[in-house]
Amino acid sequence: MFERVIAQVDPSGLTDACGLEPSFVCEWIWDVSDNERLAEISAWAVEKPLKIVFILVGAYVANRILKKAISTVVDRLVQERSLIDDEEKSDALVARVGRRAKARLQKNRERAERSRQRAKTLGGLLSTLATLTTYSLGVLLALGEIGFDLGPLIAGAGIVGFAVGFGAQSAVSDFIAGIFILVEDQYAEGDFVDLGEASGTVERVSLRTTVLRDVHGAVWVVPNGEIRRVCNSSQIWARSVLDVDVAYDTDIDLAASVIKEVADELWKENLESATIIEEPEIWGVQNFGADSISIRLAVKTEAGEQWSTARKIRARLKKAFDENGIEIPFPQRTVWVREVENQVGIEKPKSEIRKDLLDGRSGSDGDE
């Protein structure tokens, strides 16, 4: 009885064979064979290979799950691009026929195809990163099971990663922002965008930077991580909103009808650089200013043609207003000056003079 208790308290053979924390396999073989060497061999020949296989299988399963999730997101993005392309084609076919319609449709198809290709390329990049991450982690865990000391390696990698991350945090921020720009298709090459500090036509979009060329021809290179908001003026369609000022003594109905007539004429002409895709609308009186009344005109145009359309409308409005006797207002002020003199404590007006600041004319209403 005493010897049995000693054997249970001090299982030196089991500790030597399987360590202080013996596994189930090693302890079972020790109990069955009572052989220290066989138990020790079983730990290396059976238990550790099983753990390594389990780790690698887990890494494989995790990699498959991540790649499936990435593939699902990319397929959804590609499907959205296809739906947008179909909507653009249907809208264009309703609004246009002939050679220009075909050119527009071809341009829209090429842009949608570029967006789909970028989404697929980004999906491949993310899948590669997921594969490298999962398998690298699996290999490290497998090396740890073999007995390889990962402490110095992990510590060194952590120090290097911290140094690189601290020094390249802006580059990492740019990279992540570039991924979201491409995934969400915020803008593409050829779009006119306003990024806050810079605005212009997009010439190139990468994972780190966006290259713009402004109206003066200057090239702006904007890091993606510094872009806080995006105004894209080239998405599917645009609108020119013009506040046309007329003098206060103008007939509002006449002015509105002239403005509408000018816009309708441009709409029917269907010019190459001023494509109006819907009937222009008069939204009514917009504002009472110090010198004029503003009448708002809204014109829906092809993307990127809103500025040229507005310029043509303004030029034609000047001619139409001159023909119809509608005054385009300019700042005017009327100033009355009163001179006084004191006689026995009574102020008496001496003269009143009306002066026009624009033409310099002056006159006197009367003398004392």
Segment 35-47 shows an average pLDDT of: 60
Topology annotation, domain 237-324: Alpha-Beta Plaits (3.30.70)
- Choose between 178 and 340: higher pLDDT: 178
Domain borders along the chain are: 51-148, 187-232, 237-324, 334-367
Return the CA Rg of the chain: 40
The CATH number of 187-232 is 2.30.30.60
Segment 204-213 shows an average pLDDT of: 88
Q: DSSP H helical segments within the chain, as ranges? A: 2-9, 12-18, 24-33, 36-42, 48-95, 99-146, 151-167, 169-184, 252-269, 306-324
Bridge partner list, 288: 293
What tens digit of pLDDT does each residue of 166-208 get?
667 788 888 888 888 877 778 888 889 999 888 999 988 888 8
Q: Give every CB contact of residue 197 below 8 A, 6+ residues apart in sequence.
A: 220, 222, 226
| Pair type for strands 281-288 and 237-246 | unpaired
Could you give the CA distance from residue 264 to residue 268 in angstroms, rounded to a whole number? 6
- Choose between 188 and 216: higher pLDDT: 216
Residue that has been written with the tokens 């990663």 in this structure? 161
Task: Provide the pLDDT for residue 341.
Answer: 60
What tens digit of pLDDT does each residue of 144-161 get?
777 777 777 777 777 777
Nearest CA to 105 out of 131, 121, 87 is that of: 87
Phi and psi, residue 17, nearest 5°: -80, -40
Q: Give every CB contact of residue 224 below 8 A, 6+ residues apart in sequence.
A: 174, 175, 177, 178, 181, 207, 208, 209, 210
Q: Above 60 in pLDDT, residue 338?
A: yes
Q: Is the dihedral of CA 31, 33, 35, 39 positive or negative?
A: negative
> In a 10 Å sphere around its CB, with 0-12 CB exposed, 13-18 middle and 19+ buried, how is residue 59 labelled?
buried
What tens digit of pLDDT does each residue of 58-75 get?
888 988 898 888 888 777
Average pLDDT, the chain: 75
Q: How many whole angstroms from its chain centre is CA 47?
A: 52
Write the CA distances from 78 to 86, 113, 116, 181, 185, integer angstroms.
12, 9, 5, 15, 11
pLDDT-derived band at 27, boundaries 50, 70, 90: low
The residue length of the chain stands at: 368
